[in-house]
Structure 1
């Protein structure tokens, strides 16, 4: 049987528990009340509109501006607190028909350009006489499409030349089948054209990979001297045929992070270009140095040079500074474009100094490989690293550097 004391104890416990629960709930409620309120749905919608990459404008039934986002200003959809007249006129029609419609909102001053700015807008009804105009900038897509069309047209033209030549030469061989001398002569020409065709296809594939069609190989530590030696080996035959001697400075021991095959290809293209555009017997040289954390490999020739007004275009695909000479040497017009993309994919650049009748210097810049050097304080300091000390027995040390100011930027377009 429960005693009065036990009963009072139980009641007291219940009362204390209830009071404690009430106090905890009240404290929680106070904390919730003190916490700042979250954004409302309207505020979230406004944030969404402001952050949109499209221009958004809301108009009332009179065509007055109700709200807009910053992107609408950038696209010219809003001017001096008023919407573009073309958008207002389209909004009036949408209010009458209650059907969405599209409108061209491209800047008037861009019309007639080769690559105009293209801004297309869609006007939609919101009810109660309100309309929304959403403008999208298609300029980049149009530019890329124009580049694609030009590229396809250039490739088609470049492929047509050797293919047509091979067809004509084959007919000539068939007509002169019994004349051994003529068959050999035409056969040699067919071989040269087929070699040129194969080189063009190979370089198109390489350029496609460099522009992102395929994942680039992993970068490794590469010896600059090894790259120079291999590139020289690839160019020896063409240099000897042109009676041109390629000289180099002493071994440097410099290192870069990159893909050896791509770097050799880029340097080989610069050397082949220098040989192709130099007079027989004129010198071509390679020099290496380290500056501002960049390894610079310069190829200098005493050739025909490049006119100043062409120096900003020479790294474009299929561009040739001297078209007649390029055809004579079998160039594809892609060599220097490949150099530019190799440099960019390695985080570097390519520079050009040239003067008509004097020669040219192309400088390939690639970030130097760095590694922590041991310090007395126990902390490693990153410094440009070399694989080894330069060989005490230098290579041929003749170095030719054209005088003048070096120009870097979009550079000599594919004059192999």
Structure 2
């Protein structure tokens, strides 16, 4: 209010000055009263004109961008300009803060693994993050203000959106090819809706594998149990000769061993999946390991194959001996089971140029078609189920091999063609390979002398 008194004084001064000038002019023209009135009016008019000019400058500034300062006049207009400018600056700061918070919020949603779509009351896209664009094949910029049902035409999604019943999420199978999406819709505001999407392909795949695993285990165990139950009933109800009794007991022992092998492999897999990675400072002599593998392979083959195992590698591997032995033994056992009599099986070691190494098991068996290779390490997956059961396999061997080599930081690679045999390679990193004298291996390929065996 410090502008009020000066303004009143200026107004009084203007009126007094106008009256004096008007009185002087009236005396000169012999009309003193009229001169005083005209003088006072002129003083007030001059004051109004000055106010109009100052007000005009302020209005012109308000009509512009308000980037510069308000007009710095004195008195009422100066105070008014200052107050308006400060209010505008405070408003701009508040808008900037809200805009920054909005951008942070949108950035957080953008970083979310979930897809987020905001729809207005007409089902038009108000906002869309990158993940939602990927899920529904949308462009987050180009498709704004477009009707969602014109762009996403899955019948199940359109029906779900239009039904208005959002208590349960919608599963969209085969979205983006083979992906599976879980879609949730939530209403908010005045007819607005929020569409949340999540890629559950891996979760659905894991759930499917779990169901298949339970079904396969149940089937694998039920089959020998059924055989054992039948033999027990036979021995209990029928008089058998000594030869028949021995044959039944032999078959029962085979089925029992099959169940024991299955349970043992299941326990091995459970142990591998639930244990920490092997320490990198426990060293295993590769030559001793290969010697045991060769002996077991010869015993299983019983002279039906020519088995060659590399000797004198002078290499040590960092890891758990039992796991490494199990991995290589599984590969050799498979090679013996599926290679026809008279075939060849080779077990070898090769140093790699990066300091790592390769353990390989190759055979001259029937080979495997290309379409089966990606699934060979799945539990209970069999190229020929009936043949696998005849040879005594549980369907878990290659899954165990894959888990062992991955736990040791390596990789399992499979090369095979029908009629050309198969080769399984265990690639181990340099940190788990050293020569017997403690030095790192160099990339030199060693020879493969025979360890025995015959046609």
Aligned pair in 2 of structure 1 residues 304, 78: CA closer, same or farther (>3 Å)?
A: closer
Structure 1 unpaired stretches of 5+:
1-35, 371-383, 400-416
SS in 1 for 2:403: helix
- 1:75 and 2:135 correspond: yes
The 2-side partners of 1:187 and 1:89 are apart by 62
Q: Give matches, 1:19-168, under 5 Å.
A: 40-76=100-136, 78=138, 80-81=143-144, 82=146, 84-85=148-149, 104=170, 106=172, 110=175, 117-125=180-188, 127-168=189-230
| Corresponding residue to 1:282 among 333, 343, 351 | 343
Question: How far apart are 1:152 and its partner, in Å?
Answer: 1.3
1:343 is aligned to 405
Aligned pair in 2 of structure 1 residues 129, 357: CA closer, same or farther (>3 Å)?
A: closer
Aligned pair in 2 of structure 1 residues 218, 176: CA closer, same or farther (>3 Å)?
A: farther
The 2-side partners of 1:266 and 1:158 are apart by 22
Q: Deviations over 1:225-254 (max 9, x none)?
A: 2221232343342122x5334222231112
1:308 is aligned to 370
Question: Does the CA-based 8 Å contact 1:244-1:275 persist in structure 2?
Answer: yes
The 1-side partners of 2:118 and 2:311 are apart by 69
Question: Does the CA-based 8 Å contact 1:102-1:121 persist in structure 2?
Answer: yes
Aligned pair in 2 of structure 1 residues 155, 222: CA closer, same or farther (>3 Å)?
A: same
**Quick check: which one's helix share is greater?**
2
- 1:267 and 2:316 correspond: no
TM-score by length of 2: 0.65
Runs of 4+ in 1 over 6 A off after TM superposition: 36-39, 86-94
The 2-side partners of 1:134 and 1:311 are apart by 37
The 2-side partners of 1:269 and 1:103 are apart by 44
1:397 is aligned to 449
1:20 is aligned to none
SS in 2 for 1:194: helix
Question: How far apart are 1:348 and its partner, in Å?
Answer: 1.3
Q: Deviations over 1:309-365 (max 9, x none)?
A: 433333322222343432222111111121122122222122223333342222221
| Corresponding residue to 1:387 among 433, 436, 450 | 436
TM-score by length of 1: 0.71
Q: Give matches, 1:228-243, under 5 Å.
A: 228-240=290-302, 243=304
SS in 2 for 1:299: strand
The 1-side partners of 2:171 and 2:305 are apart by 59
Q: What count of residue pairs does the alignment treat as equivalent?
A: 340
Question: Does the CA-based 8 Å contact 2:347-2:361 persist in structure 1?
Answer: yes
The RMSD of aligned alpha carbons is: 3.5
Q: Deviations over 1:270-324 (max 9, x none)?
A: 1111111122333322111101332111212222222334333333222223434
The 2-side partners of 1:148 and 1:61 are apart by 42
Structure 2 unpaired stretches of 5+:
1-95
Question: Does the CA-based 8 Å contact 1:246-1:283 persist in structure 2?
Answer: yes
The 1-side partners of 2:203 and 2:401 are apart by 26
